[in-house]
Amino acid sequence: MPRSKPNWSPLWLTCVLLGLTAVHAIDVLTVPQQVSLSANTSTQQLSISWLGGAAATFDLMILRTEFNITVFYDTVSATVNQESGRHQWDWTSVEPLECTSLSVRIRSRDGETTSDWSHTQILQGNDLPSYETIQVLPQDRIVPVGANTTFCCIMAEGKQFGTIKYGNTVMHETRLSRRSYAVTAVNQGLSSQTGTNVLCKDKLKSNSWGSVVFVGYPPLPSDFVCETHDLISAVCRWNKGRDTRLYGKRGTSYTLNNRKCDFSSTQKKRDEWRVAQWGGNWTLVAANPLGRHVLTDSAELRHRVRPVAPESLNSAVHAWNATVLWQWKYDIYSSLALDCQVELSSQGYKTKRTFSGLGLQSVVLSDLDPDEDYSVQVRCGAQQNFWNWGSWSEPLSFKTNTYVPEALDVWMWINKDYTAQVIWKPLTRRQSHGLITRYEVTFWSPEENRQRTEFFLPDTSAVLINLTQIATISGDDKVTATVIARNAAGVSQPASVHVPLRLTDVEPGSVSRAVVYTDTGFPLFWQRDDNATCSYVVEWYEASCKWNCPVGWIKVAAGTTNVSVESADFQPGVMYDISLYSITSEAPELLQRWQGYMQELVPSASVSLSTTQQGSDILLTWGEIPLVVRRGFLLGYNIYISSGSELTLLANLSDLGSREYTVKGLPEGSYKFTVKAYTSAGEETGVTASITLEPYTDWLILEILASMGITAIFLVIVTFVCYKKRKWVKKAFYPDIPEPKLPGDWSRSQEPLDVKPSPHSLVHMVERPEWDSSKEVLVVIPEEEEDEDGLGDEPADTDEPASLRYYNHVADERPIRPRFPDSSSSSASSLDSARTDVTYTGIQTSGSSLVFQLDPQGSSEGHQPQADLSFCRGGGGGGGGGYRPQMQSRAPSDDTDLASPEPFFEPQAASSGGYKPQSSWHLDSPVEAGENDGLAPSLGSPTSIASTQFLLPDGEEHADERRSSSAATWFTNLLSSTKP
């Protein structure tokens, strides 16, 4: 069968084209149409609606019309109204909608595909030229605390913007349009009762316009409850909670069970509402412009009974009790079991007492204090299904009657001068039971039954008595003092104390124990005393007090062995003596004593410090700190040395009895020492003393003085011994010169010897060839006639002058040695006289010399040369100023012309430096005297028989004795005039 060609008709082609056109139409989005704007100025919300086809999302743009500034641009999903098919979306503006005109445009969006923008819709603001006055928006806005609010100011035409102030704060503005300016207040606080002002001023500040904003809280009531007073109606109460700070028409309104609570001006309480009939269920709604709050409650009638306050209170008063009566507002209370509470107030103290009964209308208050003011209030509650106490009644005041006072608490205090005080504790108002009119004190002796009563004013609390005076008129060893108090109702019970008349000064075995204060006071413990038949008394007073001290005391039962002492008078830093006495029928006996501080402090005063140098050591000494300023138990002393601004601890002395310290081995210099006493509370400020360590010369002075003293003692001992042994000393050091032994009759020894001179008394010098004429030789001196008025009358310089007339020519075989005078003032003698008086006062040396020169022209033996005797002393000329020795020949003869053909000369005698006595007479025997023509050789000696001087020996072997003679002269002179 042959295949036919398809028949492409024009109808089929038309359908294909129409289908393609439809698909393209679906791909193109619909532009939103019929856009409408609806503004809610109170909420600043703009509602936008439009017809938008099938699109699900839309781009929304909001601009400020005048400046064309975008305010909002976002893609939103709008809701669709199923009935009208319109899309709707709400936008809330930050600024009030009236501040400026807004332009709105919308377009559809499907993914990345969008439609064209809709026509622009404009929401007109108040900044149009038609509004000629200045406007501040929003007006009277109510916002919660912490909100942010934007205000705008629309200036009038021709006015320039100035400032916007929120309260007292100038705000920073934002320009919205040509005439509109906006500010934002952030985190707003509570406003006052009249709100917070927002003021806008022009540049000239000629006028100001403003708005008021109220910032507060939404209502938040609590504790909603309903109860009954009369068992019929209900009274609902609630707690309003915090103050919303919104008042008047903006304040909180309440509705109870859908009925508005209309608080009239006569009802002051805005937190309760009365319902005429008990309903059982209640709902409370509280609302204000910022929000609302709902509370509910439900209960049975008998479970919510709260009686009203008692009325018409009255009292019947006695000394120790009082009856309080009242009445009820509702008669139904007479059949209601009640619990009533009475609040009793007195002297600032309040106590509550509870009473129960059916229809209770009176109570009896017992255990009251006489003569006391009281105030009472009463409230009651249901005894069954107790719900709550009712309201307090009005207070009732009354005063109890007077009664006799309580017995006094009496004690005594004894001073060291045998005076005592009888003391008692003043009665308080509650103890006195009325006004005290006087005190009566009676002193009596139980054994002698003698008594004496004295009266004292009400402000008296102590009586001074003289124990010595009472003891002289009483034979007892104690006196009993009885004290009573009197008021309008009578006298108190007598209180007595035994006062000893004679102090024994007996202290207990354990005294002054330290006790530490605790939170409950001073804890005291003691051994039980069987003699304490009545009680114990614990007494305390300040330890620094010595006379009529303020004393505190308490009485403790006889079987007690411990107690804590507490007093409001205890002060920190004060030492207290606490004593325990046993009370018997006799006088009180001291058992034990303690000392303690309520609180130890550092001492308030320092020690008195002094320093003393002891060689290279320094002794620190200080005094004791007085008890009143110690303020604690002293534990010791800290000793510091100061080095600049730092203190270095040298020692810690815990021995309180030692108040000195020696710092040893310090070099010379200045030092500062500080001594600080310390207690358990710490150190006191301390006292500083300075000292400069100097070379110690006292010991040197003491050594010198000791040496001198020892020397003086030694000399005294030597002098004493010498005095006792003066015979031996004189014999050993200064023997007596023997008297001359001469033959013949020498009985007239006290008269001068009269020796006839020999016919010739000349010394002839014989010239010897071997001698040098230039040497010193003896010169011949011619004998002249005896002159009775010669030098013999010259006074002698001796203490014991002795005169001896002797013959100046004595024959001796030994040569005559020239002698030198002992001094320039020695006794003079003359060779031209046969009789010579010679006086010696002592042996002296001099620098003078006796020079004999030989005349060089006298060389003939038969010729007698002219003799020249030259005696030099200190430049003085000759002339017999000293002793001139007698010369004699070696061999005597009877020839009177010449003594010797060859005179003998001894050259060393001329050069000798001191006096040498004539020592050429050695004829000590009568035989020798006979050989010399009967003349005693000793008569030629110039030493008198009365002389007490030593003669210097000849020769160099006695040189040492000559040198030591002058050193012993003082001692010799001392012994020379002393005779046993």
Please, which pLDDT band fits residue 119 given cuts at 50, 70 and 90?
Answer: very high
Q: What angle do CA 175, 176, 180 make, to 5 degrees?
A: 85
Identity at 624, one-letter amino acid code: E
Mean pLDDT of 782-788: 43
Neighbouring-strand partners of residue 263: none
Mean pLDDT of 160-173: 92
pLDDT for res 940: 42
Cα separation, 643 vs 590, in Å, equals: 53
Least confident of 280-294, 355-369, 646-660, 879-893: 879-893
Please, which pLDDT band fits residue 205 given cuts at 50, 70 and 90?
Answer: confident
Cα separation, 38 vs 25, in Å, equals: 33
> What b/e readout covers 521-553, taking b as 16+ CB neighbours within 10 angstroms?
bbebebeebeebeebbbbbbbbbeeeeebebbb
The answer to whether 102 and 125 have CB atoms below 8 angstroms apart is yes
Comparing 399 with 693, which gets the higher pLDDT? Answer: 399
Nearest to residue 101, comparing CAs of 121, 85, 122, 132? 122
Residue 177 has pLDDT above 60, yes or no: yes
Residue 533 has pLDDT above 80, yes or no: no
Q: Return the percentage of the chain with pLDDT > 70, whole number.
A: 69
Angle at which helices 969-976 and 726-733 pack, to 10 degrees? Answer: 120
Mean pLDDT of 43-57: 88
Alpha carbon of 173 to those of 66, 146, 162, 181, 807: distances in Å? 18, 20, 10, 6, 163
Identify whether 667 is preceded by a cis peptide bond (ω within 30 of 0): no
862-913 pLDDT, tens digit per residue, is: 333 343 333 333 333 333 344 444 444 433 334 434 333 333 334 333 333 4
Cα separation, 868 vs 863, in Å, equals: 16
Cα separation, 678 vs 937, in Å, equals: 103
Name the one residue in this structure whose structure tokens are 């003594």. 899
Question: Residue 644's CB: how many other CB atoms inside 10 A?
Answer: 6
Cα separation, 803 vs 683, in Å, equals: 97
Please, which pLDDT band fits residue 352 given cuts at 50, 70 and 90?
Answer: very high
Backbone angles phi and psi of 242, in degrees to 5? -70, 155
103-114 pLDDT, tens digit per residue, is: 999 999 998 899
Please, which pLDDT band fits residue 730 given cuts at 50, 70 and 90?
Answer: confident
pLDDT for res 64: 94
Nearest to residue 118, comparing CAs of 53, 71, 56, 27? 53
3-state secondary structure of 495: strand
pLDDT for res 738: 76
Mean pLDDT of 318-341: 93
Residue 805 has pLDDT above 80, yes or no: no
Mean pLDDT of 354-369: 93
> What b/e readout covers 216-248, taking b as 16+ CB neighbours within 10 angstroms?
bbbbebeebbbbbbebeebbbebebbeebbbee
The answer to whether 64 and 181 have CB atoms below 8 angstroms apart is no
The answer to whether 189 and 196 have CB atoms below 8 angstroms apart is no
Residue 243 has pLDDT above 60, yes or no: yes
Contacts of 4 (CB under 8 A, 6+ apart): none
Residue 552 has pLDDT above 60, yes or no: yes
Nearest to residue 320, comparing CAs of 445, 194, 433? 433
Question: Residue 303's CB: how many other CB atoms inside 10 A?
Answer: 13
Alpha carbon of 518 to those of 601, 631, 678: distances in Å? 15, 17, 21
Extract the tokens encoding 388. Answer: 């709550």
Contacts of 823 (CB under 8 A, 6+ apart): 844, 846, 882
Mean pLDDT of 42-60: 89
pLDDT for res 265: 54
pLDDT for res 819: 42
Extract the tokens encoding 424. Answer: 């008692």
DSSP string covering 682-715: EE---EEEEEEE----HHHHHHHHHHHHHHHHHH
Extract the tokens encoding 689. Answer: 């003393």
Q: Exposed, middle or buried, 429 (CB in 10 Å: 0-12/13-18/19+)? A: middle
The answer to whether 281 and 296 have CB atoms below 8 angstroms apart is yes
Q: What angle do CA 102, 106, 107 make, to 5 degrees?
A: 160
571-607 pLDDT, tens digit per residue, is: 899 999 999 988 887 888 888 889 899 899 999 888 8
Nearest to residue 338, comparing CAs of 317, 364, 309? 309
Least confident of 126-130, 621-625, 858-862: 858-862
pLDDT for res 507: 53
Nearest to residue 592, comparing CAs of 508, 676, 648? 508
Q: What is the mean pLDDT of the chain?
A: 76
Neighbouring-strand partners of residue 352: 343
Extract the tokens encoding 340. Answer: 């009533």
Please, which pLDDT band fits residue 817 given cuts at 50, 70 and 90?
Answer: very low
Q: Exposed, middle or buried, 566 (CB in 10 Å: 0-12/13-18/19+)? A: middle
pLDDT for res 953: 45
Mean pLDDT of 357-380: 93
The answer to whether 108 and 52 have CB atoms below 8 angstroms apart is yes
The alpha carbon dihedral of 766, 771, 774, 775 has a sign of negative
pLDDT for res 418: 79
Alpha carbon of 497 to those of 44, 387, 944: distances in Å? 95, 59, 112
DSSP string covering 276-299: SS--SEEEEEEEETTEEEEEEEE-
Nearest to residue 426, comparing CAs of 392, 456, 395? 456
Alpha carbon of 373 to those of 169, 353, 396: distances in Å? 59, 17, 11
What is the largest distance, in Å, between two alpha-carbon atoms of the chain? 246
Comparing 714 with 129, which gets the higher pLDDT? Answer: 714
Q: What angle do CA 547, 552, 558 make, to 5 degrees?
A: 120
pLDDT for res 639: 92
Comparing 149 with 159, which gets the higher pLDDT? Answer: 149
Name the one residue in this structure whose structure tokens are 């001594």. 675
pLDDT for res 549: 85
3-state secondary structure of 74: strand
The answer to whether 339 and 354 have CB atoms below 8 angstroms apart is yes
pLDDT for res 172: 94
Residue 397 has pLDDT above 90, yes or no: yes
Extract the tokens encoding 468. Answer: 């010595």
380 membership: H or E segment, kind and range? strand 373-382
Identity at 283, one-letter amino acid code: T
3-state secondary structure of 727: helix
918-927 pLDDT, tens digit per residue, is: 444 444 444 3
The answer to whether 407 and 439 have CB atoms below 8 angstroms apart is no
